[in-house]
Amino acid sequence: MKLLHRFPEEEYAQFGHYLEQYQPHTSALLGWFLCSGYAQVDRIGRAKIYTSHAQPFNTPDSVVWIVDSRHRLRVFVTSEIILNDAPMTATAKEHAVTKEWKGGDHAWFEDAEHEALYRRSEALLEPILRSFMETHPEILFHGLSVLWGPTVHRVANVQFDGPCRRFVHPISAFNEIAQYDGSYQMRKLTVDNVDQVIKHNKIAYEREYVADCLQFSSTLWTSDEAPVAWAMTHRDLCIGALFVRPEYRRQGLAALIVADLCHQHAKFFEKHGLNPNLEHYAQAVVECDNGPSAAMFTRLGWQTVGPGLTWIFCSKPN
């Protein structure tokens, strides 16, 4: 039985329409899709898209979507659209943060029907991931749903697993330009700021990747040309690398940076002519142990989606 089918490029437009319909569950993949013409290190021309079903839009069964960008793998399982909203067990919520997958035969969902859907999805995904591990000495799973963390841990030698909460907010709330104190200047980050972003972030991103992510970025500068707060946008249009210098915190600067980035995203969506009858979403990812940032997004009215996303770097099992 064939595990994966190459998704034809002539159907990419249909793929984009599909991703639009199922936001916010598909917002990260939609962001990657829309940004692919703007990024150098990770564009559709270099990436290959695969599905677990030959007719992915014409089946009631769960479908695994794989975006293979050579240096990183994006995975989306269509059952996430249902499971993200399903009540999880207390144990599963805890393990989603602690990554205590070994011996994890516990139930993930309170409802038996949701649990059965989850187990079927795992059974569909696991042989696919095993096949990739056989041909890739190392893989970075980018923005993988935490739901599939146990599956990756079973099939690979995991060296890094960084779970994050995923926050979303309707983009329609950011049509207006953010207003800020005249004592600051707001501008985009430039390639001269790449080292600054990397230095103050927990994850040591590649320089080339950060440079691409600065296309949608924001920073506040003081009158003496000192950057005091900034953030960039990941390849899937998730706000990340948000940082405010300690002496400037608790002044609302992070909220200004977020609002400015979301306004940039709103204009980007408008440029692409997305369906005006559908709600589109701004996104942000926050490390699970970063309580202050999570509290800020909650205070600003953002909501979490599902158990979160994780970035897993792994190699072939021993």
- CATH code assigned at 258: 3.40.630.30
State both tokens at 152: 């990756």
Distance of CA 246 to the CA centre of its chain: 27
CA distance 245 to 253: 10
Beta-bridge partner residues of 219: 187, 230
Residue 34 shares a structural domain with residue 73: yes
Q: How far is CA 96 from CA 68, 92, 155, in A?
A: 25, 6, 18
Prior bond of 307 cis (ω within 30°): no
Tokens 């014409």 belong to residue: 58
The pLDDT, as a whole number, for residue 38 is: 52
Q: What confidence tens digit (pLDDT) does each residue in 190-243 have? A: 999 999 999 988 777 888 889 988 989 999 998 777 899 999 998 889 998 999
Cβ contacts of residue 130 below 8 Å, gap of 6+?
A: 155
The pLDDT, as a whole number, for residue 154 is: 92
Helix (H) or strand (E) holding 287: strand 281-287
Residue 116 shares a structural domain with residue 189: no
pLDDT, tens digit only, all 318 positions of the chain? 579 999 998 898 899 999 999 999 999 999 988 887 654 445 555 688 999 999 999 999 999 999 998 778 999 999 999 999 999 999 888 887 776 655 457 899 999 999 999 999 999 999 999 999 988 889 999 999 999 999 999 999 999 998 999 999 999 998 877 776 677 889 999 999 999 999 988 777 888 889 988 989 999 998 777 899 999 998 889 998 999 999 999 899 999 999 999 999 999 998 888 888 999 999 999 988 889 889 999 999 999 999 999 999 999 887
Which residue range(s) make up the domain with 175? 170-304
Helix (H) or strand (E) holding 304: strand 303-304
The pLDDT, as a whole number, for residue 41 is: 47
The pLDDT, as a whole number, for residue 283 is: 95
Residue 93 shares a structural domain with residue 238: no
Residue 190 shares a structural domain with residue 155: no
CA distance 25 to 19: 9
Structural domain total, the chain: 2
Strands (E), 44-137: 48-51, 64-68, 73-77
The pLDDT, as a whole number, for residue 218 is: 95
Can you give the pTM of this predicted structure? 0.90
The pLDDT, as a whole number, for residue 184 is: 86
Residue 130 shares a structural domain with residue 61: yes
Beta-bridge partner residues of 275: none
Residue 140 shares a structural domain with residue 263: no
